[in-house]
């Protein structure tokens, strides 16, 4: 799997960076200057109707999969809900403008973008005027990215299709001072100039009273809608509490040891930080080393000490862990006795002599977690790219008693549940829809799956 920064292709219209040098000098006909694009129907007065149509279509598509399951729906704010916006920079009749991609070309000029935050909209005309009046800043400019926060932090990135002007830094520092920009950077092939920093710090307020801070790095994935992210984190934390309650019920009311959590595609630790308090240990796996560094920072800044970030390719990690779990299952089958199954393993017996017991505990936290995981497959969280989970990852997921699955593509989720075989071993017990992509056909959804033997 590639990094989280590449997973949301539904946002490519907003990540409007022309691919060819010089594209910024002229827009591709036909040109629209009314801000209307074919992939988004921004009509706040009809937002509730649009959301109802999307959610009804998803319920119909999933059919019996969600029969008897309450589906919580979390609507977006009708306007100014995105803290991140990306535009191409094009000349329309010789005038430099922000532009949106439509039908694979930057055809639509915009002066404002009402789905973006008020701070971004307020900054857009002032930034455009400053850039357009500066030869050093406008020459070769192909794109402009805004990365903001709920607390007012802001990073502007100027992307160039040719080498940056020799006076770029001086002009950029002057503009940053004039506009009171917290952070500014410029990028061209082989060049990256950072003024102050290449990240912003966001704060999320959860229903349980916690205020969590996150470093979000330019060029890497971060959730574009902070309010929707807070709702997702609250839903995940409530799901973790329900998992703990279910394990206590199976244990006859006695409080069991906290579960272990394996998280795949963990990004900058967005979910890891919020969920760690509900688990004894979390292993978060992410391939992008910049996101791993951000995750380490976010864990430390929020005082999380029971989570480990592993910089690794998810596919390779899954195959490695699968070999361990498969070997453990074979050993368990060979050494099975009449003793009752271990309730903590969801009805599956441990190997007669697990490797974790045969050897001294490892000092390496990742290795130690893997040693424990050979006999403990409590909870797994996956938040994959739009294509969903591959065959190896699906087989690994099937080992776990409880599965939290966040999906930016409901069709891929449905395919993983049905053709991928997850519904053969697990049942959906909780579901939610998050409208991250208001005014577009896209939805983000989440399900909590429980092993069927534990639902009896």
The tokens describing 124, both together, are 């857009």
Give the whole-angstrom CA distance, residue 350 versus residue 331: 8
Does residue 307 sit in helix, strand or coil? strand
Please list, in sequence order, all residues whose beta carbon lies within 8 angstroms of the beta carbon of residue 211, skipping any fewer than 6 positions away.
203, 204, 205
- Provide the sign of the torsion angle of the four alpha carbons 394, 396, 397, 399, taken in this order: positive
**Do the strands 426-434 and 444-451 form a parallel or antiparallel pair, or are they unpaired?**
antiparallel
Which stretches within 74-198 are classed as H helix? 118-132, 135-138, 168-179
The tokens describing 118, both together, are 């008020």
The tokens describing 307, both together, are 């989570």
Burial class (CB in 10 A: 0-12, 13-18, 19+), 178: exposed
Catalytic residues: 408, 444
Please list, in sequence order, all residues whose beta carbon lies within 8 angstroms of the beta carbon of residue 88, skipping any fewer than 6 positions away.
16, 17, 18, 23, 24, 98, 99, 100, 101, 106, 142, 143
Residue 181: what are its φ and ψ, rounded to 5°? -75, 130
The tokens describing 50, both together, are 């649009």
Of 368, 342, 337, nearest to 352 (Cα)? 337
Give the whole-angstrom CA distance, residue 173 versus residue 140: 18
Residue given tokens 């939805």 in the structure block: 443
Give the whole-angstrom CA distance, residue 270 versus residue 275: 9
Asked if 45 and 183 touch (Cβ cutoff 8 Å), the reply is no
CA-CA-CA-CA dihedral for 126, 129, 130, 134, to nearest 10? 170
């Amino acid at each position: 799997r590639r990094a989280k920064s590449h997973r949301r292709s539904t946002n490519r219209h907003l990540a409007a960076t022309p691919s060819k040098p010089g594209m910024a000098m002229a827009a591709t006909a036909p040109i629209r200057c009314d801000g209307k694009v074919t992939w988004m129907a921004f009509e706040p007065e009809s937002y509730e109707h649009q959301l109802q149509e999307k959610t009804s279509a998803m319920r119909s598509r999933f059919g019996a999969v969600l029969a008897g399951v309450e589906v919580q729906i979390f609507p977006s704010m009708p306007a100014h809900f995105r803290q991140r916006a990306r535009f191409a920079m094009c000349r329309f009749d010789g005038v430099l403008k922000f532009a949106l991609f439509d039908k694979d070309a930057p055809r639509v000029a915009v002066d404002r973008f009402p789905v973006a935050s008020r701070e971004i909209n307020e900054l857009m005309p002032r930034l455009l005027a400053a850039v357009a009046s500066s030869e050093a800043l406008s020459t070769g400019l192909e794109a402009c990215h805004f990365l903001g926060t709920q607390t007012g932090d802001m990073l502007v990135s100027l992307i160039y299709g040719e080498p940056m002007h020799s006076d770029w830094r001086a002009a950029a520092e002057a503009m940053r001072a004039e506009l009171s920009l917290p952070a500014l950077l410029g990028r061209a092939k082989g060049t990256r100039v950072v003024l102050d920093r290449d990240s912003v710090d966001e704060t999320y307020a959860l229903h349980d009273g916690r205020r969590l801070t996150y470093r979000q790095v330019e060029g890497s994935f971060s959730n574009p809608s902070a309010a929707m992210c807070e709702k997702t984190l609250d839903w995940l934390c409530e799901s973790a509490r329900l998992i703990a309650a279910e394990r206590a019920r199976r244990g006859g009311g006695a409080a069991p040891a906290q579960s272990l959590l394996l998280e795949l595609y963990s990004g900058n630790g967005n979910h890891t930080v919020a969920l760690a308090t509900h688990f004894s240990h979390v292993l978060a796996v992410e391939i992008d080393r910049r996101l791993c560094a951000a995750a380490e920072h976010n864990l430390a800044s929020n005082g999380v000490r029971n989570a480990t970030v592993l910089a690794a390719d998810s596919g390779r990690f899954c195959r490695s862990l699968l070999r361990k779990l498969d070997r453990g299952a074979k050993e368990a089958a060979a050494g099975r006795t009449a003793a009752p199954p271990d309730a903590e393993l969801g009805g599956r017996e441990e190997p007669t002599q697990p490797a974790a017991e045969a050897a001294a505990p490892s000092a390496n936290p990742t290795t130690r977690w893997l040693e424990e995981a050979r006999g403990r497959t409590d909870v797994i969280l996956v938040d994959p790219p739009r294509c969903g989970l591959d065959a190896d990852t699906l087989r690994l997921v099937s080992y776990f008693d409880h599965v939290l699955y966040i999906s930016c593509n409901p069709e891929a989720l449905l395919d993983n549940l049905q053709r991928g075989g997850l519904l053969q071993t697990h049942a959906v017990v909780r579901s939610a829809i998050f409208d991250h992509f208001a005014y577009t056909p896209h939805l983000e959804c989440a399900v909590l799956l429980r092993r069927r033997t534990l639902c009896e």
